[in-house]
Amino acid sequence: MGLLVVGSLGLDTVITPFDKVEDALGGSAVYISLASSYFSGPVYMVGVVGDDFPNSYMKMLENHNVDLEGLQIVEGGKTFRWSGKYHYDLNERDTLLTELNVFKDFDPIIPPKISKSRFVCLGNIDPVLQIRVLDQMEDPQFVVCDTMNYWIEGKRDDLLKLLKRVNVLIINDSEARLLANEPNLIKAAKHIRELGPEFLIIKKGEHGALLFAEDTIFSAPAYPLEMIYDPTGAGDTFAGGFVGYLHKTQDLSTENMKKAVVYGSALASFCVEKFSTKALEELNYLRVQDRYREFLNLSKFDA
Amino acid sequence: MGLLVVGSLGLDTVITPFDKVEDALGGSAVYISLASSYFSGPVYMVGVVGDDFPNSYMKMLENHNVDLEGLQIVEGGKTFRWSGKYHYDLNERDTLLTELNVFKDFDPIIPPKISKSRFVCLGNIDPVLQIRVLDQMEDPQFVVCDTMNYWIEGKRDDLLKLLKRVNVLIINDSEARLLANEPNLIKAAKHIRELGPEFLIIKKGEHGALLFAEDTIFSAPAYPLEMIYDPTGAGDTFAGGFVGYLHKTQDLSTENMKKAVVYGSALASFCVEKFSTKALEELNYLRVQDRYREFLNLSKFDA
């Protein structure tokens, strides 16, 4: 059984203190799919682009065993575009431009072959669309979902409906506080899990991630990077590494879920080392394994 | 050989969203000494108070095996007072009042017995005073030092002189960025260690702490607390637990230093559970050990 990834594909123009790239490959579905491709294939990607979407990007995705049967290409349409500028410390960014283009009328249609997937990763898009995806799945066993402040504030009712059908919610700390309306993260996590998700992951950027599973809390460290070139896509890459590892191992125990969080963190630490998807394109499984071991050394101490 | 702790003793008026306490026991020397008393004694405390300093506080400290021979009591003088109000999420606070009082003319004098101590913990006071303490020590083998933004900005030259004589510097993330003039924490840590300290600990509050030792970085998690009553003194308590454990074990290896960071974190996690020093006063070593094991479970994952 494959892994279904739904989300955005875009052309990103990104400015950091170090450099600028224009119309680089981006979007949540892209980062998630590329990251999960290092563990398990094929990855079925569902999304939409215009006919201006470079053929070279599609080739690269296919070379990573990403199945594009579910990718809609709108004739005469323009691909989703986003532009952002990062501040000097790379922790904050300003959005300079958001052009929805073909994404505005996106209706995710899941081809029959793909609707049999047991693992689903819902990238950050309108919760109404995320629900529409789940409605088309034959027997989804494990649903991982991302969202953002924009939907928490603007489409809370739809999001709450969706959360009842989600196994793992992955959000960042400010989103968790907003969703639960609670400043304490541990209390916020409790509230959120009562809304549906059995597992919750709170991403904290340079401070690592927290996994809430059963009665357990697991704190994963962040990889100590001296140089971050482009934080774009790090959160999506985390989700892709996480779900890819679980799909590969087919083991949903809490202990294995901790490992998946570290694999997600490892993939995200590569993502930010180069612009756009460059670092993810060039990766290999041995380097992923090496970095996993570095995470072990980073957090291990004696009893 | 004992452990020398130098720092402030004060009467704190603290307002949090939950409660208010007036003239409660506070000050860096107090928190450090109490925390380290759970590992190793006697702890020699050097500081200054006025004759308004309640006798009950001295008794409590002595009951925790804190030696007060080096405590100066100024006849007719008023004890240092501080007042602060925490914001709703307890991550930020406003200082409402700082009355130096007897602290203004404080000249730390180290009695002969105490000057033989090999372990020294310099709480957050003027770096000129911290240097004066070191000048009086016969053969300090291991010097742990705290400082703050105020001295980094106002007394940088003195601080730089001090750092050459310090083995471990303990500061928080914003202080590290300020001291190194570098937004990336990993790079900042490199710069700071070039200034003198062989070991550096960067405290990140609810995100844990980083230890830089040899070529190693160790990331310690923070304890997931649902309720924080009063964050005052958490950083000092961390330092006290850290140096107390090292003084007890007399093992300055990197592996043992990691354990000391976790013991420091464990002590700090108790500190914030009650107002002022209350939680630290009531602790026992079994509970400290239990919490250490909880930190193990919190961060452990399989290879």
Please tell me the predicted confidence (pLDDT) of residue B112: 95
To the nearest whole Å, the CA of A137 is away from the closest chain B CA by 33
CB-CB contact of B131 with B109 (8 Å): no
Are A207 and B208 inside 8 Å of each other by CB?
yes
CA dihedral A182, A187, A189, A193 (to 10 degrees): -100
Are B293 and A301 inside 8 Å of each other by CB?
no
Query: Which tens digits make up the pLDDT trace of A48-70?
Result: 999 999 999 999 999 999 999 99
Provide the chain B residues 226-255 that lie in CB contact (below 8 A) with chain A: 226-228, 255
Q: What count of other Cβ atoms lies within 10 Å of the Cβ of residue A135?
A: 10
Tokens of A107: 């209706």
Task: Identify which of B54, B98, B103, B57 has the alpha carbon closest to the alpha carbon of residue B77.
Answer: B103
Residue B102 is classified by DSSP as: G
In this prediction, residues A143-167 reach a mean pLDDT of 97
Tokens of B152: 């980094």
Provide the chain B residues 72-101 that lie in CB contact (below 8 A) with chain A: 88-90
Q: Which amino acid is at B50?
A: G
Distance, CA of A201 to CA of A220 (rounded, Å): 10
Residue B206 is classified by DSSP as: G
CB-CB contact of B12 with B24 (8 Å): yes
Q: Is the dihedral of CA B148, B152, B153, B155 positive or negative?
A: positive
- Touching check for A289 and chain B: CB below 8 Å? no
Q: Find the residue in A nearest to B208 (Cα).
A: A207
- Touching check for A207 and chain B: CB below 8 Å? yes
Strand partners, A25: A11
Are B259 and A89 inside 8 Å of each other by CB?
no
Burial B190-226 (b: 16+ CB within 10 A, else e): eebbebbbebbbbbbbbbbbbbbbeeebbbbbbbbbe
Write out chain A residues lying below 8 Å of B221, CB-based: 208, 219, 221, 299
Please tell me the predicted confidence (pLDDT) of residue B75: 96
Rounded to two decimals, the ipTM of the complex is: 0.93
A interface test, pick of B212, B227, B301 with most A CB neighbours within 10 Å? B301
In the predicted model, what is the mean pLDDT of chain A? 96
Of A186, A224, A299, the CB nearest to B186: A224
Write out chain A residues lying below 8 Å of B186, CB-based: 224-226
Are B259 and A302 inside 8 Å of each other by CB?
yes
CA dihedral A242, A246, A252, A258 (to 10 degrees): -40
Check whether A152 has a pLDDT greater than 90.
yes
Task: Identify which of B122, B108, B136 has the alpha carbon closest to the alpha carbon of residue B46.
Answer: B108
CB-CB contact of B276 with B68 (8 Å): no
Query: Which tens digits make up the pLDDT trace of A201-238?
Result: 999 999 999 999 999 999 999 999 998 899 999 999 99
Contacts of B24 by beta carbon, 8 Å cutoff, 6+ apart: B11, B12, B13, B14, B275, B276, B277
Residue-by-residue pLDDT tens, chain B, 303 positions: 789 999 999 999 999 988 899 999 999 999 999 999 999 888 999 999 999 999 999 999 999 999 999 999 999 999 999 999 998 878 789 999 999 999 999 999 999 999 999 999 999 999 999 999 999 999 999 999 999 999 999 999 999 999 999 999 999 999 999 999 999 999 999 999 999 999 999 999 999 999 999 999 999 999 999 988 899 999 999 999 999 999 999 999 999 999 999 999 999 999 999 999 999 999 999 999 999 999 999 999 999
Are A301 and B258 inside 8 Å of each other by CB?
yes
pLDDT tier for residue A40 given thresholds of 50, 70 and 90: confident
Please tell me the predicted confidence (pLDDT) of residue B249: 97
Please tell me the predicted confidence (pLDDT) of residue B92: 85
- Touching check for A216 and chain B: CB below 8 Å? yes
Task: Identify which of A189, A279, A197, A200 has the alpha carbon closest to the alpha carbon of residue A234.
Answer: A279
Distance, CA of A212 to CA of B279 (rounded, Å): 27
pTM score: 0.95
To the nearest whole Å, the CA of A103 is away from the closest chain B CA by 36
Name the 3-class secondary structure at B260: helix
